Chains A and B, each alone.
Chain A
């Protein structure tokens, strides 16, 4: 489990603690406080946060003030003889009722904001958000757009082999795109374990739970790229499935939608194409890197006891039909999910072909490949 720390890392381990002293950004407010965000709701939430914060600060100053005064003025040296009082019913009633009233005053705006957040009606645009280990799927219900959003940060950056980019761990290959000023409703669920979809700038955090659909809505008035995260422990790559939302003008949004549709059409054409083994293998390697590598690891060796190896696996070597079935249906009672809805026919065929040929599997097994038509065939209702 332990990685050797490289020499340059040792250096940074020793000296970096002092670097922060030189960085002016340290005191930046946004580095130590909640974001105001870009929606009416997120601003209301921010105001509530600051209100309750200052209420606590004021109470703290009064209470600790009395305490510190007493610690100083009533020390044994200054006050050798202690007083003897130990009860005062009036005082007790006062300090029960006053905090209660402060709480009531605090509860009113909090309840109002909450009721506002819960005014949940259908949006102009409705997007289903599905959490997977460890990526997000977005389905635009009106436009029949459907894609996965994966971490874009390179593993070499994570393992300190290359310098970290500006949006380290906060960038995805395909962000969600929504138009400015429209009511967007998210229908949030999960496919495997519980995840949580958090977009701080919209003040939305909703758990994505298998078997449940939670809803959240937003109207964003400011175009831009907003970055969020998964906030429910969902396994080993929990930190590596960020959320990125791009808010664009109405026209840009329409253009994006038509581009996505054209892309989907091109994809369906690919299914008809005659693929060479090499083409499938190359495409499959890309699919593998995106979807399989987290569990089955770089060389298909898996992680002993948790994720089984693909290298030398009997199914991968010799049983093409079972191989397709596992990817299409998942393996019950294990972390292996169904990829039927996650991968296109082409990608499905490509990745199976890749695993059957890579890491010496081609030599050890029967080397049969899978073409997109096999998957189409599998999907046809059985007689």
Chain B
């Protein structure tokens, strides 16, 4: 995209206030973006530590380190923390930083709400994590919290879990409204919808998905609350309710939710691949349409998570076919990325390494997704480690690699300093190798018959579980390196230019690095 920017005058140097109040009262999209990203990283480490408890227990058959009861709490909190605490806030953080810069807006449209939507979030996680110290322990019914295990049979802390989900939902909805209003109203003159950077497009679609499904999740947990405390029987068969209804409601939220966690990654990857291929992105229009169709299809495939609940044949066939269809737009995206690289002039800085790994490993996750869509085969895969391997491939080397790629890509812009390229590449290779050691063998133990959410397993699964655990600890350790690299970049380093990268495209690269506290007070013009 070519952009002509008016000379950018900073008449008044509004610096940020000093001290803690800067962060508490801030309405600045850059500060709030930073807060989201740090919260996300803290949650990533907490959720990661829980994953390591799980992997340590699974290192060998037999119960060694924790009790099954505590193991279930760990797997539940690991899932909830990673989904709602690590991946989603990271994308919101990136949106806060990048959307105004990419559309040429001075800030988000609703800055005070922006502050609120961030600051309620730490409390949601404090409430959730405090349940670990309550009598009866933390939620222990899996992040999918199927009733009646999560209602009649739940520990008392389930009420805190429900409250915490409500807060997270409110935060997400406010964040999404902000993104939509910003994109719809505050684009620089001349930036039509079909000229928007793809990260902005991906977030616009994501925000609509969030607004559509977060209330559904809120409805599900409210019905649980009613069942637990107010004598209703939505999900209680003995009272005339329907446990399967819970799963339909949950997955009507849950499936769009998984695309909420991947669409912004598509946007980030598109920018990085075109930048380091030194070639304009191939098929911009089809990229937009692919994301839109994926988002629409995400509303009609939810029951593929429930092929074994005993649905009628017609439903099984419909959900199988609809799910298979998603492979078409997803394929288009992968082909576009590869064609962008084709005949480009490619260099392999850290963001590009992460983006390429994203394309390859996300595609592998897509393949296993296609296999899972085949209903009769799913009867064998369902609720085994094959599923665990599948969704970790699309979420860890998928979403999380894309987030890391985005951080390496934009951190010179944010801080004005280049990160340490040598360490960045080391971080990449350590993460890339260990993530595959961790998750690839899980395909095999899953196919061989190891169910998920098992604290202990039969002897034939021992070898590959051991390998997986070794990989998980390597991956965990590699992320400490990431923290070090980010801190090092914050402290100093080679000064970054405005463009940062040789072939950077987009409005954010027209600003100096780091950008002033207030940017685009006069809107730039886009041709």
Contacts and interface: CB of A to CB of B under 8 A. Distances in A.
A239 B334 contact: no
Contacts of B284: 86-87
B367 A60 contact: yes
B370 A71 contact: no
A276 interface: no
A31 interface: yes
Interface in B438-453: 444-445, 447-449, 451-453
Interface in B324-382: 324-325, 327-328, 331-332, 334-335, 338-348, 356, 359-360, 363-364, 367-368, 370-371, 374-377, 379-380, 382
A265 to B, nearest CB: 33
Query: A interface, by DSSP: helix, strand, loop or mixed?
Result: mixed
A92 interface: yes
A231 to B, nearest CB: 4
B423 interface: no
A287 B265 CA distance: 55
A67 B66 CA distance: 44
B148 interface: yes
A47 to B, nearest CB: 10
A373 interface: no
Given A117-B376, A212-B237, A3 B63 contact: yes
Q: Which of B136, B243, B368, B449 has the most CB of A within 10 A?
A: B449
Given A95-B331, A231-B384, A233-B72, A110 B343 contact: no
B328 A100 contact: yes
Interface residues of B, number: 109
Given A17-B470, A305-B134, A169 B456 contact: yes
Interface stretch (B26-34, B152-160, B174-182): B152-160
A12 B462 CA distance: 13
B346 A71 contact: yes
Contacts of B66: 1-3
A84 B453 contact: no
Interface in A229-247: 229-240
A231 B383 contact: yes
Given A70-B344, A194-B149, A304-B135, A30 B448 contact: yes
A341 interface: no
B99 to A, nearest CB: 24
A290 interface: no
Interface in A46-79: 48-49, 52-53, 56, 59-60, 63-64, 66-67, 70-71, 74-76, 79
Contact of A107 (B62, B282, B324): B324
A67 B359 CA distance: 10
B362 to A, nearest CB: 12
B344 A239 contact: no
A305 B155 contact: yes
Interface in A174-189: none
Interface in A145-159: 157-159
B69 interface: yes
Contacts of B277: 74, 82
Interface stretch (B40-48, B309-317, B493-501): B309-317
Interface stretch (A202-210, A217-225, A312-320, A356-364): A202-210
Interface in A122-181: 133, 157-160, 164, 166-170
Contacts of A87: 282-285
Contacts of B451: 198, 229-231, 239
Q: Which 6 A-B pairs have the closest CB atoms?
A: A211-B237, A305-B136, A305-B135, A32-B444, A214-B310, A83-B343
25 contacts: A13-B64, A17-B466, A32-B445, A41-B376, A48-B374, A52-B370, A56-B367, A74-B277, A74-B343, A75-B345, A88-B282, A95-B331, A106-B374, A110-B377, A167-B458, A205-B382, A206-B310, A209-B310, A211-B241, A231-B451, A304-B136, A305-B135, A306-B69, A306-B136, A335-B153
Given A92-B286, A193-B152, 8 more contacts: A3-B64, A33-B447, A76-B346, A87-B285, A114-B320, A118-B316, A235-B140, A303-B69
